Amino acid sequence: MKRIVIFASGSGSNAENLIKFFLDSDHASVIQIFCNNPHAKVLDRAKRLGVSALSFNRVAFTKTDDVLDILKATEPDLIVLAGFLWKFPEHILKCFENKVINIHPALLPKYGGKGMYGMNVHNAIIQNNESETGITIHYVNENYDEGAIIFQVTCQVSKQDTAEDVAAKIHKLEMEYFPKVVEQLLNE
């Protein structure tokens, strides 16, 4: 069995979708959720779905080896950032080369970087009259949203669309494609 761990900061709809997708799999499963916010909804979802979850603070993540040591002990085949808002520290990346991926709700390299998350991204798409947007799944490196792109898929943005409409289209793409891309990466 391949072992997936997920880092999430907020609602965790992608985390839940990944957990459920791999419940039926003989090849992989989500074994641990890591969360930097003790009040995040993702922790309730993990509990409901019976997946172990732990929250940690910034010091444990960036200044000590606390999170790194736990991560090493879980022996993940893939570390999936799903709505995780902190920069991933270099000392952890170094130990898991080409094993950390992220999903971004736009077509990188556009609409990426610090502050470009959630509705900020979709509002910018509307403000700039973009006619398309999409999702990007990419490897994580030491800079926000700059690692090698693994997968992108687009959707149209019509003139009538609000930022909320765009968010709904993106959510649909994420639900459909993210688990499949994770599965494919684990099979490679």
Cβ atoms of residues 79 and 59 within 8 Å: no
**179 touches ligand GRF by CB under 6 A:** no
Cα separation, 175 vs 179, in Å, equals: 7
3-state secondary structure of 62: helix
Residue with tokens 């603070």: 57
Please count the CA atoms within 13 angstroms of the CA of 32 that sit on its side-chain side: 17
Residue 165 beta carbon to ligand GRF: minimum distance, rounded to whole angstroms = 14
Cα separation, 141 vs 107, in Å, equals: 17
**83 touches ligand GRF by CB under 6 A:** yes
Site size toward ligand GRF, by CB under 6 A: 14
Select from 6-14, 44-52, 123-131, 144-152 the region that touches ligand GRF (CB under 6 A).
6-14
Residue 26 beta carbon to ligand GRF: minimum distance, rounded to whole angstroms = 25
**174 touches ligand GRF by CB under 6 A:** yes
Q: Rule CB under 6 A: which residues touch ligand GRF? A: 8, 10-15, 82-83, 103-105, 117, 174
